[in-house]
A and B are shown apart, each in its own frame.
Chain A
Amino acid sequence: MKFEIKKQAVAGTLESSDIQIIIDNNDNKGIEIDLKSNVEKQYGRKIRQLINETLAEMGITDAKCVVVDKGALDCTIKARTIAAVHRSSEITSNYDWEEIDTWNV
């Protein structure tokens, strides 16, 4: 499945153990992640890495992400990133579950 950041999209909430990811296009400026987390010092790098990896797996090379983390687990971070990219690509049905599965979520 081909993904493209067409428009701004959001996934996730601001509640405890969740993460809110707002994604938008970023023409040829690479991946930019603006992260706010209450465990930034401990896990900031790991959270960025997870988002970066997930975007790379989905073939996204340019995106601006505004992220608020409230202590989300890795699986949540991946799931929210995947959901945000799907919404931004205007894919809201017929998900390719097999492909998503290969990303080890």
Chain B
Amino acid sequence: MLTIKKMHIKRDSQVKSNWESLLLNANIQPEKTIDYTAGVFDNEKLIATGSIFQNIIKCVAVTNEYSGGSVFNMLITNLMSEIFDRDYISCYVYTKEETAESFTYLGFKEIARVKDKLVFLEKATKGLDNFVEELEKTKLYGEKIAGIVMNANPFTNGHLHLVEKASNENDILHLFVLSEDLSDFPSKIRYELVQKGTKHLKNVILHETGDYMVSAKTFPSYFLKENDDVTYIHASLDALIFKNYIAKALNIKIRYVGEEPLSPATAIYNKALNDVFGMDLQLIVIPRKEILNEVISASRVRKLFKENEMDALKQLVPQSTYEFLNSSKGKEIQKKIIEKDV
């Protein structure tokens, strides 16, 4: 008798170790960024499992003797209804190359593949095709077209330096601001501050990244710490999507990134970009701007903001960002940052 039920892997260590050993037997890395896990049981025995984080299906494994259809379909139905019940309108999968086909049988479409490691697929009525179509509407013609993707949490003089340099060296600069709301500064405010801080640069076109660039879908380890291997694989995936879809849609030939001496995840990300781009896209790494022998970074700004060192902060951010940090909305965020770490 087969049953499917929710597994409380975070509450029950016995359940967790059963879950982990099933995954490890199937050669799948148990991940930490998970908010729902289902298990299929034959009587008491765990024979298959799958998890989700937001609208991403991951860590799916079916034991060999039950592979080949019905258990898998039962599991994916359960995970998809969980996702749609949470009002998401699309759903994504990370899976090994061997199992990617089982998902395409269920109508999932392959978006990117990191060889021998991972395939990323989506199921949506309006998916990547739609996103690329919308993006193409903003396409401009020029000799040299570049792209930058940034979180700008919040927008600093370091970001400004990077943008100004890329703007000077190119005809058109597409600047993408992360839309994922997992950072201290909400995406709307981050976007506005970038907009204000770059409005003197006429060849800069602002975009939101949506689901397909450094989002919790394509690059979860940017937001939540995973081990370095997982981070590198996720980063490669993100780089592939940028190269194969985003850059192609806008005819971007060069991507600029800031050098990353401080955050290990971003450093791995830069390496993955370099490895994936190869000869197809040029990657330019700009050294960080320094003030008082210390690089300007958004994390340094957040730290000073948290400690309310507004004078020290002033020389690290553009006037528009400084004004926002001093505004009542800015103070609300400051309060949240302070409370978060208590």
- Given A36-B106, A38-B105, A15-B125 contact (CB < 8 Å): no
Q: Is A13 a contact partner of B105 (Cβ separation < 8 A)?
A: no
Within 8 Å by CB of B74, from A15, A22, A24, A68, lies: A15
- Give, as a whole number of angstroms, the nearest-CB distance from B66 to chain A: 14
Q: Which residues of A contact B (CB under 8 A)?
A: 7-8, 10, 13-16, 20, 22-24, 34, 36, 38, 64-68, 70
Q: Is A15 a contact partner of B70 (Cβ separation < 8 A)?
A: yes
Which residues of the other chain, A, contact B63 by a CB distance below 8 angstroms?
Answer: none
Among residues of A, the one whose C-beta sits closest to the C-beta of B85 is A10
Q: Is B89 a contact partner of A13 (Cβ separation < 8 A)?
A: no
- Give, as a whole number of angstroms, the nearest-CB distance from A62 to chain B: 12
- Given A10-B84, A22-B125, A66-B123, A16-B106 contact (CB < 8 Å): no
For the residues of A in contact with B, the DSSP-based class is strand
- Give, as a whole number of angstroms, the nearest-CB distance from A49 to chain B: 19
Q: Is B73 a contact partner of A70 (Cβ separation < 8 A)?
A: yes
Q: Is B125 a contact partner of A14 (Cβ separation < 8 A)?
A: no
- Given A14-B76, A15-B70, A64-B125 contact (CB < 8 Å): yes
Residue B107, interface by CB 8 Å: yes
| Bound Cα distance from A66 to B126, whole angstroms | 10
| Bound Cα distance from A34 to B129, whole angstroms | 13
Among residues of A, the one whose C-beta sits closest to the C-beta of B127 is A66
Supplied contacts A24-B125, A38-B105, 18 more A-B pairs, CB within 8 Å: A10-B84, A13-B77, A14-B106, A15-B70, A15-B73, A15-B77, A16-B70, A16-B73, A20-B107, A22-B123, A22-B125, A34-B107, A64-B126, A65-B125, A66-B107, A66-B123, A68-B106, A68-B107
Q: Is A8 a contact partner of B77 (Cβ separation < 8 A)?
A: no
Pick 18 A–B contacts, CB within 8 A, sort by A.
A8-B125, A10-B81, A10-B84, A13-B77, A14-B73, A14-B74, A14-B76, A14-B106, A15-B74, A16-B69, A20-B107, A22-B123, A23-B125, A36-B106, A66-B123, A66-B125, A68-B106, A70-B73
The 3 closest A-B pairs by CB, nearest first: A24-B125, A68-B107, A36-B107
- Using C-beta atoms within 8 Å of the partner chain, give the interface range for chain B: 10 to 19
Which residues of the other chain, A, contact B84 by a CB distance below 8 angstroms?
Answer: 10
Q: Is A8 a contact partner of B106 (Cβ separation < 8 A)?
A: no
| Bound Cα distance from A20 to B81, whole angstroms | 11
Which residues of the other chain, A, contact B106 by a CB distance below 8 angstroms?
Answer: 14, 36, 68
Taking CB atoms and an 8 Å cut-off, the chain B residues in 72-91 that contact chain A are 73-74, 76-77, 80-81, 84, 89
Which residues of the other chain, B, contact A38 by a CB distance below 8 angstroms?
Answer: 105
| Bound Cα distance from A13 to B84, whole angstroms | 12
| Bound Cα distance from A43 to B105, whole angstroms | 16
Which residues of the other chain, B, contact A13 by a CB distance below 8 angstroms?
Answer: 73, 77, 81
Among residues of A, the one whose C-beta sits closest to the C-beta of B76 is A14
Most buried by B among A7, A13, A14: A14
- Give, as a whole number of angstroms, the nearest-CB distance from B126 to chain A: 7
Which residues of the other chain, B, contact A36 by a CB distance below 8 angstroms?
Answer: 105-107
Among residues of A, the one whose C-beta sits closest to the C-beta of B90 is A8
| Bound Cα distance from A24 to B123, whole angstroms | 13
Which residues of the other chain, B, contact A14 by a CB distance below 8 angstroms?
Answer: 73-74, 76-77, 80, 106
